[in-house]
Structure 1
Amino acid sequence: MLNAKTKMPIVLSILAALLLVLGACSNNSENKGKEHKEEVDHSEMDMDHSGSGDVPEGLKAEENPTFEIGSQVIIKTGHMESMKGAKATIVGAYDTTAYAVSYTPTTGGEKVKNHKWIIQEEIEGAGEETYEPGAEVIIKASHMKGMDGAVAHIETAENTTVYMVDFTPTSGGETVKNHQWVTESELSAAE
Structure 2
Amino acid sequence: MMMGMKMDGLEMNMKSKLPKGLKKAKHTKFRVGQKVTLKAKHMKGMYNAKAKVAGVYKTNLYEITFKPTNGKKTVKDHKWVVSKELKAKGKLKAGKKVTVLANHMYGMKGAKGKIVKVHKGPAYVVNFTDTKTHMVIKNHKWLTQSELKARK
TM-score of the two chains, using structure 1 as the length reference: 0.72
Moved over 3 A (4+): 41-44
C-alpha change, 1:126 and 1:183, in structure 2 (3 Å) is: farther
Equivalent residues, number? 147
> What's the counterpart of residue 29 of structure 2?
66
Say whether the 8 Å CA contact 1:51–1:180 is kept in structure 2: no
In the TM superposition, what are the counterparts of 1:23-172 in structure 2 within 5 Å? 42=7, 44-48=9-13, 50-51=14-15, 54-124=17-87, 129=91, 131-172=92-133
* Structure of larger gyration radius: 1
Q: CA deviation at 1:90?
A: 0.5
C-alpha change, 1:101 and 1:126, in structure 2 (3 Å) is: same
Identity of aligned residues (%): 37
Say whether the 8 Å CA contact 1:51–1:177 is kept in structure 2: no
> What's the counterpart of residue 148 of structure 2?
187
RMSD of the alignment, in Å? 1.8
Q: CA deviation at 1:44?
A: 3.9
Alpha-carbon separation, structure 1, partners of 2:74 and 2:51? 30
Say whether the 8 Å CA contact 1:120–1:126 is kept in structure 2: no
Runs of 5+ unmatched residues, structure 2: 1-5
Say whether the 8 Å CA contact 1:51–1:179 is kept in structure 2: no
Alpha-carbon separation, structure 2, partners of 1:45 and 1:132? 25
Runs of 5+ unmatched residues, structure 1: 1-40
Alpha-carbon separation, structure 2, partners of 1:81 and 1:172? 9
TM-score of the two chains, using structure 2 as the length reference: 0.89
Q: CA deviation at 1:125?
A: 5.6
Higher relative contact order (CA 8 A, sep 6+): 2
C-alpha change, 1:156 and 1:43, in structure 2 (3 Å) is: closer
More helix by share: 1
Say whether the 8 Å CA contact 2:8–2:75 is kept in structure 1: no
